[in-house]
Structure 1
Amino acid sequence: MLRRGVLIALLLVSLCSSAYSRTITDMSGRKVSIPDRIEKAVALSPPATYMLYTIAPEMLAGLNFPLQGDEKIYTVERFKKIPVFGGLVGEGRTLNLEVLLKIKPDVAFLWERSNSFNAINSEYERVLRKLGIPAVFMRMDTIQDYPAALLFMGDVLNRRDRANQLNRYAVGVLQRVERALAALPADRKVSVYYAEGLDGLATEGEGSMHTELIPLSGGRNVCRLKPTSLMGQEKISMEQLLLYDPDVILVKEKICFQRIQKDARWKLVRAVRNKRVYLIPHVPFNWFDRPPSYMRLLGIQWLANLLHPDRYPKDMVKETKAFYRLFIGRTLSDAEARDILWPR
């Protein structure tokens, strides 16, 4: 909870004056007045922050949490020096109002998610309003939301040409993957287990937003548990994993990936015996999950190619280089692309 005393003190010194000369309709249907000229922007969740980074990195003025090691790789130098102000996810799910006031963003993006986030979003919107910071809501729960979200953010930031370029890529990828796997018989869908945590015995159940790429890439999530919370990471036993006996295991943590190769119990699992255990690419941001982001547009191609190379043949080194050039503004060598695709 925000400390009332701090909030009151900050409000007394936050007599911000902005020229609101444009009214937009955000992705929740709300009418919001925003400055005609936006120079600094923040987002209160990592998915929106990363999208802001790819559309207008020069405008990104604050982060939700300190950068981790992977996030410092292949991102611009300025990204490493941006102040941390917290948000809906990260830094204890609180806003550092002192930092936010120093940033003085022209607009803040909020993630319109599920009902359980409504109360938090409403509180943050109220605080932002009192600070004179327009709050606009974005819908980006699934990868299918990304094309529209890119266009929306580009419109808000007056970066429409850039957003249109990214939108065309996103739409093209989703259409190509869908067409390639449209006629895939049910018995050809590859069984997949998503290993989270240091021991690999946390996972996500069927229908979780964290595993949406599995069915979209022609896979079948072996875990049928219904999500018990938005945070996910449902715990299972080793015995349950042996019963699942998946064809493929996707691993989030490098330490877990290394342990799987050495642990005798894991060698009883079909995917391990057949050497079909893959550490998910995670540079500069995870391609699959946690946090979900536009990197999933590359992740869905990586996974479709892994699971069904006959139906989705792709030179992933070439595609990775093209993606990084377009979305991240970095030119990779073949060796760098291979290191990203197959982390060790």
Structure 2
Amino acid sequence: MKKKPLAFLLALSLTLSLCACGGGTAATPTPNASAPVETQSAGTDATSETRIFTDSVGREVELPAQIDKVAVSGPLAQIVLFALCPDKLVGIANEWDVSAEAYLDTAYYNLPLLGQLYGGKGELNLETLLSSGAQVVIDVGEPKDTIVEDLDALQEQTGVPFVHITATTQTTGDAYRLLGELVGMEEETETLASYCEEIYDRTAAIADSVEKVDLLYITGPDGQNVIAQNSYHSEIIDLLSNNLAVVESPSSKGTGNEVGLEQILLWDPDYIIFAPDSAYDAVAGDPTWQQLTAISSGNYYETPQGPYNWMGFPPSVQRYLGMMWMAKLLYPDAADYDLYEEVARYYDLFYHCELTQEQYDALVANSIGKQAQ
């Protein structure tokens, strides 16, 4: 039932986009497989060659032999690919958070806004995509049930190759290697892949060595939502804690499941982590919240954010920051590393910036217990 409405909307969107271009046919990108290749600045001989690439859901996609212009299908792909090939990106899925100005090169702020394929703010802007010269559109993350049909439909309607790369916190290393093959940057992706595997393996070893604490990750402006156990967004939470948020149907959204304060009181966790822009600032003076063990004992913290939420939303590679931070916060004796040094290393690899001690201190102002400092 999902396939027909999406295909219809995509076809309608493409038709409207092309009609809206105006100015005659010369200004309208032709939706065929060779058009994006012909717009590249690289030599004709290099871009006229093609190859077959098999993506994570088994689709065999014909691609140019050399990839110089990449579009992203959503914010997860944006974060993953910004680390690897920022200069190949022809656009961004979402505008950068205002905090990004402190970390990212401003040259990347003015990239065209492509929108995104699934959920979030806005839809994929096919007009902008077709005018960008993108040689491929890359989707990264959890594959939707209709991913094959959706990408096949988009590819047929736009003439631009679409590929999906599946990535979880445990498999991001392999995802980067596949991306390296895709964009011709195997050496660069091996550095990122090895890093992701190193951090995950170390975090898993810490988790196996400790008695996990009872914890809730709370979202929403009033603190009425939780990230439920066994959801895509809960991977780090489930790895490093006893996630008390067990619900019948875990939400696939970053806002989590709405459960209400009464249920949170029944769970009564020993630790609470609040999402950015949640109820962290309000709970200290609220008598109802003070009934919770985590609040009355002072074991509640706010997730660092800059330029993204370290625990996810979107649930992309910045969750490796969340792993390092959460392990150090909850199990400081087992997490035997300097958190600032680790965070600075991440910012260098994935955001291409040098993180100062002052920037780090601001990021973790509400996020680190005394033992973890």
TM-score normalised by structure 2 residue count: 0.84
Which residue does 2:29 correspond to in 1? Answer: 14
- Greater CA deviation, 42-51 or 13-22? 13-22
Amino acid at match of 1:152: L
Name the TM-score, length of structure 1 as normaliser.
0.90
Report how far residue 204 of structure 1 moved. 2.1
User: Within 1, Cα distance between the matches of 2:337 and 2:316?
Assistant: 21
Instruction: Note if contact 2:54-2:60 (Cα within 8 Å) is conserved in structure 1.
Output: yes
Which of 195, 204, 215 does residue 169 from structure 1 map onto? 195
Q: Indicate the residue corresponding to 1:306 in structure 2.
A: 329
**Residues 1:8 and 1:150: Cα distance change in structure 2 (over 3 Å):** same
Instruction: Give the structure 2 partner of residue 53 of structure 1.
Output: 82
Query: Which residue of structure 2 lines up, in the alignment, with residue 339 of structure 1?
Result: 362
Conservation of the 8 A alpha-carbon contact between 1:64 and 1:90: no
Unaligned 5+ runs, structure 1? none
Q: Does the 8 Å contact 2:220/2:279 carry over to 1?
A: yes
- Specify the structure having the higher radius of gyration (Cα): 2
Q: 1:318 and 2:361 equivalent?
A: no
SS at match of 2:87: coil
Tell me the residue number matched to 2:42. none
**Counterpart amino acid of residue 14 in structure 2:** L
Check whether the contact 2:67–2:183 (CA below 8 A) recurs between aligned residues: yes
Specify which of 257, 260, 268 is matched with residue 245 of structure 1. Answer: 268
Cα separation, partners in 2 of 1:343 and 1:54, compared to 1, 3 Å:
farther
Deviations 1:270-318 (A, max 9, x none): 1111212111111111111210111111211111111111211221111
Query: Is residue 96 from structure 1 mapped to residue 125 from structure 2 by the alignment?
Result: yes
Equivalence for 2:105: 76
Letter in 2 for 1:293: S
Shift of the alpha carbon at 1:123?
3.0
Q: CA deviation at 1:226?
A: 3.0
Match of 1:125 in 2: 152
For residues 265-304 of structure 1, what are the structure 2 equivalents within 5 Å? 265-304=288-327
The one-letter amino acid of 1:138's match is I
Q: Secondary structure at the match of 1:257?
A: coil
What residue in structure 1 maps to residue 215 of structure 2? 192
Does residue 236 of the first structure (1) align with residue 265 of the second (2)? no
Aligned residue pair count: 337
Whole-angstrom distance in 2 between the partners of 1:110 and 1:322 = 26
Q: Deviation per CA, 1:124-154, whole angstroms, max 9, x where unpaired?
A: 43223332211111101x2012111111112
| Other structure's SS at 2:171 match | helix
The match for 1:205 is 228
Q: Deviation string for 1:194-239 (max 9, x for gaps)?
A: 110001111122211111112322x111111133542262112222
Question: 1:17-28 residue pairs with structure 2 within 5 A?
Answer: 18=37, 19-28=48-57
Q: Is the 8 A contact 1:42 1:108 kept in 2?
A: yes
Aligned residue for 1:143, secondary structure, equals coil
- Shift of the 89–258 alpha-carbon distance from structure 1 to 2, 3 Å rule, reads farther
CA separation in 2, counterparts of 1:182 and 1:267? 31
Give the share of equivalent positions with the same residue, in percent.
Answer: 26
Alignment of 1:131-150 (within 5 A): 131-140=158-167, 142-150=168-176
Residue 3 of structure 2 is matched in structure 1 by none
Which one is further off, 190-199 or 208-217?
208-217
